[in-house]
Structure 1
Amino acid sequence: MGAGEIAHRVGDAIRMRLQARGVGLARPAPARQTYGQPWVPQLPRPAQPQAYVAAAEQILAGRFDVFSLRAAELGWPPRWNRDPRTGIEAPLVNGKMLNYRDEQLVGDIKYLWEPNRHLELVTLAQAWHLTGEARYAEGVRTLLDSWLQQCPYPQGPNWTSSLELAIRLMNWSMAWHLLGGAASPLFYGSEGAAFRERWLESVYRHCHFIAGYFSRHSSANNHLFGELAGLHIAALTWPCWNDSAAWLAQTSAELETQALLQNGKDGVNREQAVYYQHEVADMMLLCYLVGRANGLRRSAAYMERLEQLLEFLAALMDVGGQLPAIGDADDALLVRWNQQPHWNVYRSLLATGAVLFGRPDFKAKAGPFDDKSLWLLGEDGARRYARMASVRQPPCQAYREGGYYILGCDFDQPSEVRLVADAGPLGYLAIAAHGHADALALTLSVAGQPMLIDPGTYAYHTQKKWRDYFRGTQAHNTLQVDGLDQSESGGNFLWLRKATARCEAWHSDARCDSLTASHDGYLRLADPLLHRRRIEFLKDSLSIVIEDIIECEASHEIALSWHFDPACRVVLENGVVRVSTGPATLTLSMENGAAVPRLVCGAEQPPLGWSAPCFDTKVATHTVVWSEKIQGNTSRRTRIELVLNQSKQQTQTFIEGERLEN
């Protein structure tokens, strides 16, 4: 840490201790009866409300979906300070003095926090809006009153993280408007008025807390953006206090600044994590829509950066609608707008972006106009989308600032080959919290089917073995040296020594795409080692040649890993890997060297051969590893040959079926 960050953290520590003694706590004045407008002039009504009603009924029955726990029995109302995964109940001590990283004390904090974000309030409010049945609105009041009683300010695990408070405020804002705002039947009579005052008092305390504990310096990543967004939306929704104007002015300015700091000019979010790119884009979108409805316009630069974020997501998306799982992902949603099965968060963003930015190419990637886009943009947005043409266009292939390169052919066609190579930074700021040690890794999708994958994330705060594995080098399609990660971890969300990757050459023409890149992560070894990788894709023959060049003097153990999608059938025959899926087959072989490949699936000690399709869920999958001991400068060449199994018509039918299902 630099001197500025040390001073900031010392100041925070002093403030925490003073507040634990009651000094500097929020003292809300009576709220003025002044409220903001909803994000759309008229709230829409999806054509099929049954899914929202079913989801609301599940909540009223005390069953919540929390990551890998589906319809978990949390009770009605839940015990809000209890981790539903372990059953541990966190103590009601001053939240900022509580060590939420202590599993023995709080359990799995990720699971504890998730229900407390109050996404369920929006679901209940949607069901009330669609049906008019009072019990759904009463459910919102029951949940809120129980939460206010069980989680007194500023005590317990739900008063620790400003980001958690900010996301709760976003959901409160959306639920407030869906319930009718200040005119909601929930606020009728003296009892309703008292409930409204209790709610607004907590809104003020949330805002005051966030404004006092922004994530700054090395922590000023998506957490800071989310904190600003939550306070911004709250100040627009409830401009009820003298402080509200100052909060609005501060967040308006800082959101503009952070939108440009945290996202590169080429549209790559600097956390180097695709799912977090989605989350930041979602934050930017919601701030824009709520601001627009209340007379606050975003700058042209802000909107341009949002459009660029969506462009990059569109470029990563294969013809089947899937993106590689680069970097951390926790499956978190700011607001659970959509109850449609197999809903795709990325296609949804592109559908919304198609309307906002007039982008027929976004519509071509998005497919049908989804319910989230309908909730955000209203019936007018749906009509505009219906009138818009759908136009496919080739993606940009070189994202030099973010460090991603897309090799392939027939993009967005049934015979598509899409290879994504990583020659970018580890992550954002000093801690690079959500980056993985994946320099020079690549993923491969053929005809809309992932074949070579990034296995994902799986764990965050707990299960250290699995957290280390999934973010480590061997869990990616790249070269590991001496059993070490390219970058040196200092904790679950901290990298110390960081590998720096750079592109040395990039070329693309009608015949081939090629990339040469290197990283310096292993220069820290006693015998410094440089890893350089050349990737060439030959379009006529559908061949990929990957040459790994190791520059060193002494001996080292190297391991070259290839991770396959669980849908792939993988066979190892005489040193050649044969892989088949519905639309394609692949053969992978090493053209030189004495290494003998081994095929691993679902190994526990040490972990290898796993994929995490969603947070806290892992499935066994096939990984092929070439391991050997080398001496001095060495080059190893891997060849991949692709064959499309289906005709273009068959593949198109397959892809369109997937599109309609999603």
Structure 2
Amino acid sequence: MDWLLAFAQRAHKGDSEALSRLNAWLADWCESNPPYLGPNWKCGQEAALRVMQLAVAAQMLGDVKQTTPGLMDLLRVHLQRIEPTLQYAMAQDNNHGTSEAAALFIGGSWLAGAGVTEAVRWQDKGRYWLENRAGRLIGDQGSFSQYSLNYHRVMLDTFCIVEVWRRENRLPRFSDHFETRAREAARWLHDMVSPTSGDGPNLGANDGARLLQLADTAYRDYRPTVQLAMAVFAGQCAYKEDGPWNHVLHWLGVRTPEECAPGPSSRVADDGGFAVLRRRDAMAMLRYPRFRFRPSQADALHLDFWVDGENLLRDGGTFSYNADQRWLNYFAGTASHNTVQFDDRDQMPRLSRFLFCDWLKTTKVAQLEVGQLTSTFSASYIDRLKASHSRHVNLADSHLQVIDEIAGFAHKAVLRWRIAPGNWQLDGHRLTNGACSLAVRASVPIVRLELVEGWESRHYLEKAPVPVLEIEVTQPGTLTTEFRWTV
């Protein structure tokens, strides 16, 4: 129901026909989707998302206190759909639970304010589970249970809608613990996202979800969410310059804070297994295994690299949850990440479409060191078959060095660097496009060094070719990669 927000925006700006069209579309939807029948009622989270969209639209139009009997009935049947399967949603330990808790809290308080006594139970249950999910699914350093940049955005947008609703309707505050976890989640996304482009690592599962479409920005521009979440939970602007990232604050009635947060910085979020190294306009993100919740991709020690908002070394993404098995295995597998693959197998064996088993554990993690000339971080793991990988990352102002120590494999190991599309030329062990270069050396013979075609998915159901440099060895040893760019 993204169209609810679009019509509400037009009506708020004086379009006399927009409100009539909104109500006509909503009436048509209700007639075409009778309660609990058909695909639009199959999932409790779908019902929850509709409740949140209705609430945001009503706030924008100033109609929260003037709820019609028809809208009250619509809210009631949605909450009655969500409540019976709430335990299933919570058992997923992901955005299903946060969404459905938010809908119960918002819808319940909305109906309770209109005199519906049974709605107090929904409001209280929603508040309880929002507190519970914030404490369980968000770590001390802000990582979210799904290890995904986009699902992190969905969770943050959900919590922002909840908090804005609470303030607007003068409901009791959430706990300090809830606010602290939400604030750290906002800072986590702030440090991941490029302030230049608004984009960030193509990290983890991504099904195309985008909850708050109130700004005319690209799907992969995360700045509206960062700006909103930092304003709501940290009382700071993430970006001091005016831009479309401020539009969402305007539409939700959130005051723009006078204080500005420092720019994105280096950080380690050990609660989820993320290290961010930043120097000037460069950012390296290392993913290492700290799995408290089910991993959706075999991406241990993947390295993402950005310069001035451009993703130069990149993650493959998701593509689709319902593709052929070949594509499911590829995009979620080790081969679609900038890491080492042992003996043509994934780092963890796949149990089903969404599940891996034998979750990896990090064996060593070095402290992040930010020096005058370089920033460094390292981590390592040993998999179920005793293959080991240790990765040491050094980021300087004009070059990136990655040292991989590998051992314990049976036949071969392949290091992959997935590179931004461009006119890349391979000359010996050096790859260049004129502005950037990547060179590899090894302590053991390299049996194959080849530029091949891989695939990436920047948006759901979309895939495109991407150049991939593959370096293959058959003996344990050390591989050293140096990436240089023009500054």
Number of equivalenced pairs: 480
CA-to-partner distance for each residue in 1:563-602, whole Å, 9 max, x for gaps?
1123x4322122322245xxx512222333222212122x
- Which residue among 401, 424, 429 is the counterpart of 1:570? 424
**What amino acid maps onto 2:271 in structure 1?**
E
**What amino acid maps onto 1:471 in structure 2?**
A
Secondary structure of residue in 1 paired with 2:458:
strand
Tell me if the contact between 2:302 and 2:339 (Cα under 8 Å) persists in the aligned partners. Answer: yes
Secondary structure of residue in 2 paired with 1:534:
strand
Aligned to 1:157: 39
- Which residue among 58, 73, 83 is the counterpart of 1:211? 83
Give the direction of change, closer, same or farther, for the CA distance of 1:140–1:217 in structure 2 (3 Å limit).
closer
Aligned to 1:275: 150
Alignment of 1:163-562 (within 5 A): 163-181=45-63, 196-214=68-86, 215-216=88-89, 218-239=91-112, 240-296=115-171, 297-320=173-196, 321-338=198-215, 340-342=216-218, 345-357=221-233, 362-364=238-240, 369-378=245-254, 381=255, 384-385=256-257, 388=258, 390=260, 392-393=262-263, 395-410=265-280, 416-426=281-291, 429=293, 431-432=294-295, 435-508=296-369, 509-521=371-383, 523=384, 528-537=385-394, 539=396, 542-552=399-409, 555-562=410-417
2: distance between equivalents of 1:490 and 1:596? 31
Note the C-alpha offset of 1:470: 1.1
**What amino acid maps onto 1:499 in structure 2?**
L
Note the C-alpha offset of 1:168: 0.9
**What amino acid maps onto 1:537 in structure 2?**
N
Give the direction of change, closer, same or farther, for the CA distance of 1:270–1:354 in structure 2 (3 Å limit).
closer
Tell me if the contact between 1:364 and 1:392 (Cα under 8 Å) persists in the aligned partners. Answer: no
CA-to-partner distance for each residue in 1:184-211, whole Å, 9 max, x for gaps?
7xx9xxxxxxxx4444323211101101
Note the C-alpha offset of 1:516: 3.0
Tell me if the contact between 1:403 and 1:502 (Cα under 8 Å) persists in the aligned partners. Answer: no
1: distance between equivalents of 2:64 and 2:272? 45
Note the C-alpha offset of 1:417: 2.2
**What amino acid maps onto 1:500 in structure 2?**
K
1:591 maps onto 2:473 in alignment? no
2: distance between equivalents of 1:638 and 1:295? 57
2: distance between equivalents of 1:137 and 1:507? 53
CA-to-partner distance for each residue in 1:313-367, whole Å, 9 max, x for gaps?
12122352331111012231223222x2447652112322443356557235986
2: distance between equivalents of 1:403 and 1:599? 30
1: distance between equivalents of 2:403 and 2:259? 39
2: distance between equivalents of 1:574 and 1:315? 36
Give the direction of change, closer, same or farther, for the CA distance of 1:219–1:543 in structure 2 (3 Å limit).
closer
Secondary structure of residue in 2 paired with 1:362:
coil
CA-to-partner distance for each residue in 1:132-156, whole Å, 9 max, x for gaps?
413x222222222222222222211
**What amino acid maps onto 2:52 in structure 1?**
M
2: distance between equivalents of 1:359 and 1:180? 24
2: distance between equivalents of 1:178 and 1:393? 31
For the pair shown, the structure with the greater C-alpha radius of gyration is 1
**What amino acid maps onto 1:422 in structure 2?**
R
Tell me if the contact between 1:314 and 1:365 (Cα under 8 Å) persists in the aligned partners. Answer: no
Note the C-alpha offset of 1:538: 5.5
2: distance between equivalents of 1:245 and 1:563? 52
Alignment of 1:63-212 (within 5 A): 118-134=1-17, 136-181=18-63, 196-212=68-84
Give the direction of change, closer, same or farther, for the CA distance of 1:498–1:644 in structure 2 (3 Å limit).
same
1: distance between equivalents of 2:279 and 2:229? 25
Two-structure CA RMSD over aligned residues (Å): 2.6
Tell me if the contact between 2:446 and 2:472 (Cα under 8 Å) persists in the aligned partners. Answer: no
Secondary structure of residue in 2 paired with 1:363:
coil
Tell me if the contact between 1:263 and 1:270 (Cα under 8 Å) persists in the aligned partners. Answer: yes
Q: Percent identity?
A: 22
Tell me if the contact between 1:121 and 1:172 (Cα under 8 Å) persists in the aligned partners. Answer: yes
Secondary structure of residue in 1 paired with 2:405:
strand
2: distance between equivalents of 1:623 and 1:575? 14
Secondary structure of residue in 2 paired with 1:225:
helix
Gaps of 5+ in 1: 1-117, 188-195, 411-415, 602-608, 646-662
Greater alpha carbon shift after TM alignment, 228-237 vs 512-521: 512-521
**What amino acid maps onto 2:464 in structure 1?**
V
CA-to-partner distance for each residue in 1:250-298, whole Å, 9 max, x for gaps?
1112111111110000111121111111111111111111012222212
2: distance between equivalents of 1:352 and 1:258? 20
Tell me if the contact between 1:423 and 1:503 (Cα under 8 Å) persists in the aligned partners. Answer: no
Aligned to 1:637: 479
Tell me if the contact between 1:513 and 1:538 (Cα under 8 Å) persists in the aligned partners. Answer: yes
Aligned to 2:461: 616
Give the direction of change, closer, same or farther, for the CA distance of 1:254–1:561 in structure 2 (3 Å limit).
same
Tell me if the contact between 2:442 and 2:480 (Cα under 8 Å) persists in the aligned partners. Answer: yes
2: distance between equivalents of 1:212 and 1:287? 21
Gaps of 5+ in 2: none
CA-to-partner distance for each residue in 1:470-498, whole Å, 9 max, x for gaps?
11110000111122111222222222332
Give the direction of change, closer, same or farther, for the CA distance of 1:624–1:253 in structure 2 (3 Å limit).
same
Give the direction of change, closer, same or farther, for the CA distance of 1:274–1:394 in structure 2 (3 Å limit).
closer
